[in-house]
Chain A
Amino acid sequence: EAGVAQSPRYKIIEKRQSVAFWCNPISGHATLYWYQQILGQGPKLLIQFQNNGVVDDSQLPKDRFSAERLKGVDSTLKIQPAKLEDSAVYLCASSLGGQGSEKLFFGSGTQLSVL
């Protein structure tokens, strides 16, 4: 079975530029998550979708970050404008139904460097 696909793998931008990340979850998975992992820290949830609706975006910096999940499948996470502190690995994950004990499947992540 194909895993969670993310692109690009690496991205280097200057501060105040914009950037977008793409995620294709496992086929049939209703729930999609975007996590931010800063070096030396555990992943932090940015946003959780159930199909194409938002379940939780309480930790998404909405003044600069946006995300969408069109048609309940692929998702895009955008940062505009980027700040130095946005340098991190952005992880996409998916799960079948979104229940509390479910296993999450993670992509390999996009490593963002903001200079």
Chain B
Amino acid sequence: GNSVTQMEGPVTLSEEAFLTINCTYTATGYPSLFWYVQYPGEGLQLLLKATKADDKGSNKGFEATYRKETTSFHLEKGSVQVSDSAVYFCALSGATNKLIFGTGTLLAVQP
């Protein structure tokens, strides 16, 4: 069945450091790929998405590219801020919009 594997946390970085959170997936067909973010005390919200191979999703300085050849959707940001501290979830969705999530990666950015 479909599944998502993402790197375990916590990831601790200093402000302005480069961020990569790895995500790989297993799926039949051509799923859509997502990154959702959960800020402290808030609900999950969509950060970015990509719906086909080689698409790049971007938002708030974050980027992720849909790589079908490596079945990956790694999240990157060139310069993190303290306000980026949150839990990040990689997810995929098939035709029925059933979202399957990874286990989440806690990011802590220190000033």
Contacts and interface: CB of A to CB of B under 8 A. Distances in A.
- Place the interface of chain B in its size category: 20 to 34
A98 B95 CA distance: 9
Nearest to A109: B43
5 A-B pairs with least C-beta separation: A42-B101, A106-B44, A101-B32, A106-B43, A101-B51
Interface in A77-115: 91, 93, 95, 98-109
Interface of B: 4, 31-32, 42-46, 49, 51, 89, 91, 93-104
A103 B49 contact: yes
A27 B111 CA distance: 40
A41 B3 CA distance: 13
Given A45-B99, A48-B98, A106 B45 contact: yes
A85 to B, nearest CB: 17
A55 interface: yes
A41 B97 contact: no
